[in-house]
Amino acid sequence: MMRILKTWECDASLEIEKIKQGLDPLNSSSDIRTTVLKIIQDVKKNGDKAIAAYGKRFDKAPLSPEQFRVKEEEIEDAYKYVTGKFIKAIRLAIKNIQTYQNHIRIQNVKPLRSKGVILDTIYTPIDSAGIYVPGGAASYPSTVLMNAIPAQVAGVEKIVMVSPPKEDGNIPPERLVAAKEAGVSEIYKIGGVQAIAALAFGTKTIPSVDKIVGPGNVFVTLAKKEIFGYAGIDMLAGPSEVLIIADNHANPSYIASDLLSQAEHTPGISLLVTSSKLLAKQVLAEITLQIKTLSRSAGTNECLSKYGVIFITKNMNECIALSNAIAPEHLQIMTQNPKAVLSGIKHAGAVFVGDYTPVALGDYIAGPSHVLPTGGTARFSSGLSVNDFIKRTSVITYSQSALRSVQQDVSEISASEGLDAHAKSVKIRLDSGRKKPSVR
Ligand SMILES: NC(=O)c1ccc[n+]([C@@H]2O[C@H](COP(=O)([O-])OP(=O)(O)OC[C@H]3O[C@@H](n4cnc5c(N)ncnc54)[C@H](O)[C@@H]3O)[C@@H](O)[C@H]2O)c1
Ligand SMILES: N[C@H](CO)Cc1c[nH]c[nH+]1
Ligand SMILES: [Zn+2]
């Protein structure tokens, strides 16, 4: 069960560090990092052979490299095992994700023009993206959509999905149908660190990609961090977190259900921050009632006792300050005046405002991607979006007179750096009397 801590009796930031220990890739033990580096090196050196061995060890899936790629017939077959209601739901999710991502897609800006100078900008999608869809404790068809649709809206031509198979060597049909519906180009039944390394370096059977995105456990997230440079990455999207700010106007049963749905990710971090001791007690009572009804009650309960805390603060300002210091992946605000609280929020992956906006909405249907920064990284990164798949190239054009107008300034800076070839590349174009070399 969740612990209750009063902020005036403990060091809240120390408590948060303790909770995150082992779950947060930035705080990972050296053991985890050693394991991750070893697997990356092995895949880099031994390719498919190493991937097959790790798949057998960690996923218990005895697949040979020829079996890694999902065949067209397997995808067609998957449609027989999902319901019409499931397909209708994911098509609605796809529509909402597309609408939102199109809305926030970076737009071409008009070139900036001034006397003989044109500063233009070209936006181009990356050629290929690798999307990681977790598949350990739970199956995540929704994560297929939240990764793939932003890439598709950006115009990425090749979207390669990797996801761990079940012990029978198959990816569950819902994940395959979601991939087909979302326009994924190729699917591979590989997961964990080995899948991230495969996408970064490429193997005989698995293509390397330009950027690897998507959430995963601490091993997957740390692997993304380690391969950065060989391929781009989106951010560190590790084990799920929710922080709820609530006052005694909030409904304790709603709060309990939201804390439980994050713990259900096993692991997931569930935090309630409130100045109401009464609310804290009511929420605990509600959790006790609701947890009995859940299919994963044992794991969820274990997760809540390890990674669940209710912080009692002195007042609402302290709730806001604590939330900003934690920079949670998901922040829910259930207070009498949520907009006033929102105005103080600086760092969070996504904010869910009011009593009728549970995180589950954002997980599945609302539109913004549920792939979000965790472990405090919302201080400097944002959730996955179409713009993560688009690069910006600046295009600079100067006329001769515009070049002349800045010649002296270029020379000054170039001299200060001891790089006189730089200054000369300007001077050579402006020296009077100098002619173009004649063609012999
Ligand atoms: N932040 C987000 O946007 C977001 C979204 C969805 C899910 N999530 C999180 O993703 C996580 C998914 O984790 P998961 O474990 O269910 O699936 P996963 O696919 O991330 O991890 C499973 C893989 O981990 C590897 N692994 C397991 N134990 C290992 C070990 N001891 N050594 C080396 N490798 C090992 C295996 O290769 C296995 O295939 C959850 O914590 C969930 O909360 C986050
Ligand atoms: N809460 C997760 C993001 O941290 C996303 C998810 C997928 N399925 C259910 N939830
Ligand atoms: Zn969730």
Give the whole-angstrom CA distance, residue 357 versus residue 338.
12
At the second CATH level, the architecture of 30-237 is 3-Layer(aba) Sandwich (3.40)
Q: Is 216 in the pocket of ligand 1 (CB under 6 A)?
A: yes
> Do residues 142 and 364 lie in contact, with contact meaning Cβ atoms separated by under 8 Å?
yes
Known binding residue 422? Answer is yes
Give the whole-angstrom CA distance, residue 27 versus residue 17.
8
Q: Is 242 in the pocket of ligand 1 (CB under 6 A)?
A: no
pTM of the model: 0.95
Ligand 1 atom with the smallest distance to the CA of 370 is 3
Q: Is 175 in the pocket of ligand 2 (CB under 6 A)?
A: no
User: How many Å separate Cα 101 from the centre of its chain?
Assistant: 15
Known binding residue 98? Answer is no
Give the whole-angstrom CA distance, residue 42 versus residue 50.
6
List 330, 347, 370, 412, catalytic entry: 330
Give the whole-angstrom CA distance, residue 32 versus residue 35.
5
CA of 330 to the centre of ligand 3 (A): 10
> Do residues 253 and 407 lie in contact, with contact meaning Cβ atoms separated by under 8 Å?
no
For residues 283-300, one letter each, b for 16 or more C-beta atoms within 10 angstroms of the residue's C-beta and e for the rest, the string is: bbebbeebbeebebeebb
**pLDDT tens figures, 313-324:** 999 999 999 999
Q: Which fold has domain 3-24+239-367?
A: Rossmann fold (3.40.50)
Question: Is it true that the peptide bond before 267 is cis, omega within 30 degrees of 0?
Answer: yes
Give the model's pLDDT for residue 22. 75
What are the per-10-residue average pLDDT scores of the chain (440 residues)?
Answer: 93 87 81 96 98 97 96 98 98 98 95 98 98 90 98 98 96 97 97 98 98 96 97 96 97 98 94 98 97 93 94 97 96 97 98 98 98 96 98 97 98 98 98 67
Give the model's pLDDT for residue 30. 86
CA of 298 to the centre of ligand 2 (A): 19
Give the model's pLDDT for residue 417. 98
CA of 329 to the centre of ligand 3 (A): 11
CA of 155 to the centre of ligand 2 (A): 25
Q: Is 329 annotated in the active site? A: yes
Tokens of 429: 């174009």
Give the whole-angstrom CA distance, residue 159 versus residue 211.
10
Known binding residue 295? Answer is no
List 329, 347, 370, 412, catalytic entry: 329
For residues 140-155, one letter each, b for 16 or more C-beta atoms within 10 angstroms of the residue's C-beta and e for the rest, the string is: bbbbbbbbbbbbbbbe
* Residue nearest (by alpha carbon) to ligand 1 atom 22: 136
Q: Is 374 in the pocket of ligand 2 (CB under 6 A)?
A: no
**pLDDT tens figures, 252-285:** 999 999 999 999 999 899 999 999 999 999 999 9
Number of residues that make up the chain: 440
Domains in the chain: boundaries: 3-24+239-367, 30-237, 399-430
